[in-house]
């Protein structure tokens, strides 16, 4: 008699947005039952990204666990159930934004806890900006981890860089995986790849022909460029290719931007060009 096959997993994606996490879960062979988000504009893209997955438009703060269970026919303590939670991250980002505008979404992990406590899913996946971990003194994360451990979840978490997982971009993210049905869990192993460079993915050889500023591509390829003022076009023309930055024209009174005058220490990547033979940048510069 052959080995007993593992039961198939099914997932619910909280704070799903247009479906990035759901798409990844489905690519991994997990059946995505639904994504939940309070932004109706995400629906069309989500459904396109996740065939077979339902989009539930709802504010998680007003959705009850029993109601979600009825809608998706979920059962409690299901070892094959996966909950993914990628809550809005603006509050924890290191970009200097108006924190007052994002405070309402800063602690949505507390809402996620309600559903975990009720359903006790077999597996959990949490993804967010590194600030959720590094700004620990203000973060809800330590309390959330203690909550999971009290429910007998085994956990592993850390900060990973997407460039080590097949993405041609230096994009650091906080990742937590947990399980109530496994003795141990591990973050996916890194697989560095020197070919993950801008040159390998962009440019004419990869289908990106030269286009003028303001060009709109109506096809699904969406090779579109923003319209630009004469000053911005001149700034770009003067910026050297492959790593050039705004310092080249910082002393030009016509081109220097008032907000950066005498401020070479902030936002060094603004108006810079990507290096052809490096991964694309992502993390904003420290200021």
Can you give the pLDDT at residue 135?
55
Mean pLDDT to the nearest integer, 22-33: 96
The pLDDT of residue 282: 78
Task: Give yes or no: residues 161 and 26 share one domain.
Answer: yes
Q: For residues 73 and 158, state if they share a domain.
A: yes
Axis-axis angle for helices 141-150, 109-119 (nearest 10)? 10
Boundary (domain end) residue, out of 148, 179, 210: 179
Whether 16 is in a domain gets the answer: yes
Encode pLDDT of 209-247 as tens digits.
999 999 999 998 999 999 999 999 999 999 999 999 999
Asked if 30 and 102 sit in the same domain, the reply is yes
Domain boundary among 149, 179, 209: 179
pLDDT of residue 87: 77
Q: Does residue 4 belong to any structural domain of this protein?
A: no
| Position 147 pLDDT exceeds 80 | yes
Tell me: do 155 and 206 sit in the same domain: no
* Dist CA 55 CA 124 (whole Å): 20
What is the reported pLDDT for 107? 61
Q: What is the pLDDT of residue 226?
A: 93
37, 113: one domain: yes
pLDDT of residue 285: 44
> Considering only CA atoms, which of 110, 87, 83 is closest in space to residue 177?
83
* Residue 2 included in any domain: no
pLDDT digits (tens, 9 = 90+) for 64-117: 999 999 999 999 999 999 999 987 744 334 444 444 444 444 467 888 999 999
Instruction: Tell me, yes or no, whether 150 and 237 share the same domain.
Output: no
Please compute the mean of the pLDDT values over residues 192-221 and round it to a whole number.
94
pLDDT tier at 5, thresholds 50, 70, 90: low
| Mean local confidence (pLDDT), 126-140 | 72
Co-location of 60 and 128 in the same domain: yes
The CB-side HSE value for 197 (13 A sphere, CA atoms) comes to: 10
DSSP conformational letter for 269: T
- Based on the fold, state whether residues 128 and 230 are members of the same structural domain: no
**Amino acid 91: pLDDT:** 39
**Pair type for strands 123-128 and 172-179:** antiparallel
Confidence class of residue 268 from pLDDT cuts 50, 70 and 90?
confident
Query: Does 185 fall in a domain?
Result: no
What's the count of helices (H) and strands (E) in the chain, helices before strands? 8, 7
The C-alpha angle 23, 104, 66, rounded to 5 degrees, equals 60
Which domain-ending residue is among 146, 179, 212?
A: 179
Rounded Cα distance between 68 and 72, Å, is 6
Residue 259 lies in a domain: yes
For residues 140 and 223, membership in a common domain is answered with no
Within this chain, do residues 156 and 47 fall inside the same structural domain, yes or no? Answer: yes
Q: How many CA atoms lie within 13 A of 269 on its CB side?
A: 11
Distance CA 106, CA 185 (A): 27
Tell me whether residue 103 is exposed, middle or buried, using C-beta atoms within 10 angstroms of its C-beta: 0 to 12, 13 to 18, 19 or more. exposed
Q: Is residue 184 part of a domain?
A: no
Asked if residue 287 has pLDDT above 50, the reply is: no
pLDDT, average across residues 116-124: 98
User: Is residue 191, in this structure, part of any structural domain at all?
Assistant: no
Residues 246 and 153 in one domain: no
Residue 137 lies in a domain: yes
Are both 156 and 249 inside the same structural domain? no
CA 170 from centre of chain: 13
Residue 1 pLDDT more than 50? Answer: no
Domain limits for position 69:
10-179
Look at residue 41 and tell me whether its pLDDT is greater than 70: yes
CATH of the domain at 76: 3.40.50.150
The residue with tokens 């994606």 is 13
Residue 2 has pLDDT above 50, yes or no: no
Q: Which long-range contacts (CB under 8 A, 24 or more apart) does 161-164 make?
A: 161/190, 162/282, 163/192, 163/196, 163/279, 164/190, 164/191, 164/192, 164/193
Q: Which position has the higher pLDDT, 33 or 270?
A: 33
Confidence class of residue 138 from pLDDT cuts 50, 70 and 90?
A: low
Average pLDDT, the chain: 87
Q: Count how many domains the chain has.
A: 2
- Using the predicted structure, report yes or no on whether residue 28 has a pLDDT greater than 60: yes
């Amino acid at each position: 008699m052959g080995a007993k096959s593992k039961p198939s997993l099914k997932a619910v994606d909280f704070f799903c947005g247009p479906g990035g996490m759901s798409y990844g879960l489905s690519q991994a062979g997990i059946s995505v039952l639904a994504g939940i988000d309070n932004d109706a504009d995400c629906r069309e893209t989500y459904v396109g990204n996740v065939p077979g997955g339902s989009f539930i438009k709802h504010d998680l703060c007003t959705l009850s666990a029993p109601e979600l269970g009825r809608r998706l026919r979920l059962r409690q303590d299901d070892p094959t159930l996966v909950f993914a939670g990628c809550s809005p991250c603006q509050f924890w980002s290191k970009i200097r934004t108006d924190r007052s505008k994002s405070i309402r979404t800063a602690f949505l992990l507390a809402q996620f806890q309600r559903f975990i406590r009720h359903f006790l899913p077999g597996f959990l996946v949490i993804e967010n900006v590194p600030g959720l971990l590094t700004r620990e003194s203000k973060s809800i994360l330590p309390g959330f981890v203690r909550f999971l451990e009290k429910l007998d979840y085994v956990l592993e978490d850390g900060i990973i860089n997407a460039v080590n997982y097949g993405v041609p971009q230096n994009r650091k993210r906080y990742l937590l995986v947990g399980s109530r049905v496994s003795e141990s869990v591990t973050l996916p192993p890194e697989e560095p790849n020197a070919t993950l460079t801008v040159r390998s993915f962009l440019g004419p050889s990869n289908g990106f022909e030269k286009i003028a500023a303001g060009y709109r591509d109506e096809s699904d390829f969406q090779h579109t460029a923003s319209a630009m003022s004469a000053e911005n076009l001149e700034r770009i023309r003067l910026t050297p290719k492959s790593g050039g930055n705004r310092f080249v024209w910082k002393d030009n009174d016509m081109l220097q931007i008032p907000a950066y005058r005498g401020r070479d220490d902030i936002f060094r990547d603004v108006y810079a060009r990507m290096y052809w033979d490096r991964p694309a940048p992502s993390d904003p510069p420290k200021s």
